[in-house]
């Protein structure tokens, strides 16, 4: 072979080897990337080639699949879509998915390796989609949804002993079935949803942190008892009325000028929601001790997964004493989600032990066999059993004799705490109404509830945790225990 021909042969062989190497790389190392690329139409075609598995409430599907005449053979359907949208999320042929639909997408569409039989793996056949069984109690969910009505807000009900989320409501809501397909109507519905300034697609129970107002006083009270500032909820505090914020000329007063807040004990201060007592208490404790107590409840934790991740609730660390005082009444830069505040109520109800909130009970394959089961998990010890008992007693006084009277339920022991959080510059906006609570029946079964009403369509002077939020909590507690 002459020299020029040999060079051409070597060059051609090099090209062939390079091509073979590139093909091997594409089909091997990069195959997974292309398979999962949302811009690859085969991903959607495979996902919607057969009916999806379902999300279950009380063991019954709240989702389904409907045949279409398009390339994507099936689309997702929803039963009582607006009621369960904060739980399921959505699965859309063109707009993707979120929440449980997204987190368990591979299980629901059958591509999860745990669902494959040896024959499926050998033939590369997609298995039948599995199911996601939630912890939601349909009675509690419906009670919260009906009670919230046309208000903008959210509510979460939790079993303190297990951490199981029994109800998770967010309003206004939306129907995920209207954006599940790929038609012009689905696209129009998506645009309408995107343009809605009330943001109905936002799960306010998990993703809307707001100032918790006076409900945060429970955290400060726990810190005071745990750190020995006061020995019991019935010991008088050192609390002037009004209270001048440290190093300022600003005086803090109480909503009810006639309330016996001067030097009030913690029980009375919770009963009348005395700002002066808890502002002074936060300063006496110092920001670091209040922060440490808040973090035992879950504040400042950016990885609270239900498994849907909650937005971080914040208790700030960089404050002067005047700011610390305001933070003690749930203002300044305090931020909390309804999930966070139900964790506070849950730990108090459960003797100080905080269970990790969980929304999913178990995962099953297409034949109903369990793939994964989620038992109770302990988040941490938020306080001693003695402190928890003291706070439960004081919260009962709030409902029996104080600002939480609208949460009373015949035949149940109920404890609660109201909150009305300032909103806007110089409190110019409509305040947020909060209520956190727990209830217990005669057999020791408990439920904890947190409610936040962002906009209750009420006049500003009519907004209160007792008036707007407590009835919603009462409805969910009654549904859970009666």
User: In angstroms, rounded to a whole number, what is the distance separating the alpha carbons of residues 153 and 173?
Assistant: 10
Q: What is the DSSP letter of 403?
A: T
Q: Are 451 and 432 in contact (CB under 8 A)?
A: no
DSSP H or E stretch at residue 385: helix 385-401
Taking alpha carbons only, the member of 251, 149, 208 closest to residue 337 is 208
Q: What's the alpha-carbon Rg for the chain, to the nearest Å?
A: 27
- Residue 252 CA, chain-centre distance (Å), reads 32
User: Which residues of 106-182 form beta strands (DSSP E)?
Assistant: 131-134, 152-158, 165-171
Residue with the two structure tokens 């053979």:
73
DSSP H or E stretch at residue 266: helix 266-271
At 336 the three-state DSSP class reads strand
Q: What are phi and psi of 284, to 5 degrees?
A: -60, -40
User: In angstroms, rounded to a whole number, what is the distance separating the alpha carbons of residues 405 and 312?
Assistant: 31
CA atoms within 13 A on the CB side of 392: 22
Q: Are 239 and 280 in contact (CB under 8 A)?
A: yes
Taking alpha carbons only, the member of 434, 419, 480, 413 closest to residue 167 is 480
Q: Point out the residues that are catalytic.
A: 214
Helices (H), 298-337: 321-327
Q: What are phi and psi of 285, to 5 degrees?
A: -75, -40
Sign of the torsion angle spanned by Cα atoms 245, 251, 254, 257: positive
């Amino acid at each position: 072979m002459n020299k020029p021909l040999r060079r051409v042969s070597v060059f051609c062989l090099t090209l062939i080897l390079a091509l073979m190497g590139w093909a091997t790389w594409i089909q091997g190392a990069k195959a997974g990337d292309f398979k999962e690329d949302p811009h690859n139409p085969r991903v959607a075609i495979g996902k919607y080639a057969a009916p999806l598995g379902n999300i279950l409430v009380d063991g019954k599907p709240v989702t389904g699949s409907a045949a279409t005449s398009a390339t994507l053979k099936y689309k997702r359907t929803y039963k009582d879509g607006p009621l369960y949208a904060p739980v399921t999320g959505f699965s859309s042929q063109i707009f993707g998915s979120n929440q449980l639909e997204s987190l368990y997408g591979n299980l629901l569409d059958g591509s999860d390796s745990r669902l494959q039989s040896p024959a499926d793996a050998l033939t590369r056949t997609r298995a039948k989609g599995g199911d996601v069984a939630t912890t939601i109690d349909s009675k509690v969910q419906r009670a919260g949804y009906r009670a919230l009505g046309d208000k903008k807000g959210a509510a979460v009900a939790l079993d303190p002993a297990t951490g199981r989320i029994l109800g998770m409501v967010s309003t206004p809501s939306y129907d995920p079935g209207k954006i599940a397909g790929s038609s012009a109507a689905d696209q129009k519905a998506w645009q309408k949803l995107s343009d809605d300034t009330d943001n109905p697609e936002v799960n306010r129970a998990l993703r809307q942190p707001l100032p918790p107002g006076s409900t945060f006083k429970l955290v400060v009270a726990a810190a005071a008892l745990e750190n020995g500032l006061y020995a019991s909820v019935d010991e008088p505090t050192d609390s002037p009325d009004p209270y001048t914020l440290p190093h300022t000329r600003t005086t803090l007063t109480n909503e009810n000028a006639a309330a016996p807040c001067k030097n009030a004990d913690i029980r009375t201060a919770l009963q009348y929601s005395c700002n002066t007592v808890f502002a002074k208490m936060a300063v006496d404790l110092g920001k670091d001790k209040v922060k440490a107590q808040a973090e035992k409840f879950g504040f400042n934790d950016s990885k609270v997964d239900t498994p849907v991740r909650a937005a971080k609730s914040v208790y700030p660390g960089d404050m002067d004493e005047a700011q610390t005082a305001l933070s003690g009444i749930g203002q300044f830069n305090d931020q909390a989600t309804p999930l966070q505040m139900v964790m506070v109520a849950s730990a108090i109800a459960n003797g100080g032990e905080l269970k990790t909130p969980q929304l999913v009970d178990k995962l099953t394959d297409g034949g109903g066999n369990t793939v994964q089961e989620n038992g109770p998990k302990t988040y941490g010890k938020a306080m001693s059993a003695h402190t928890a008992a003291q706070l439960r007693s004081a919260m009962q006084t709030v409902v029996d004799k104080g600002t939480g009277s609208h949460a009373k339920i015949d035949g149940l022991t109920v404890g609660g705490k109201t909150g009305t959080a300032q909103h806007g510059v110089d409190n110019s906006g409509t305040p947020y109404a909060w209520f956190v609570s727990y209830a217990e029946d005669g057999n020791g079964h408990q439920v904890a509830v947190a409610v936040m009403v962002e906009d209750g369509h009420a006049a500003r002077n009519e907004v209160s945790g007792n008036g707007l939020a407590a009835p919603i909590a009462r409805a969910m507690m009654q549904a859970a225990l009666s």
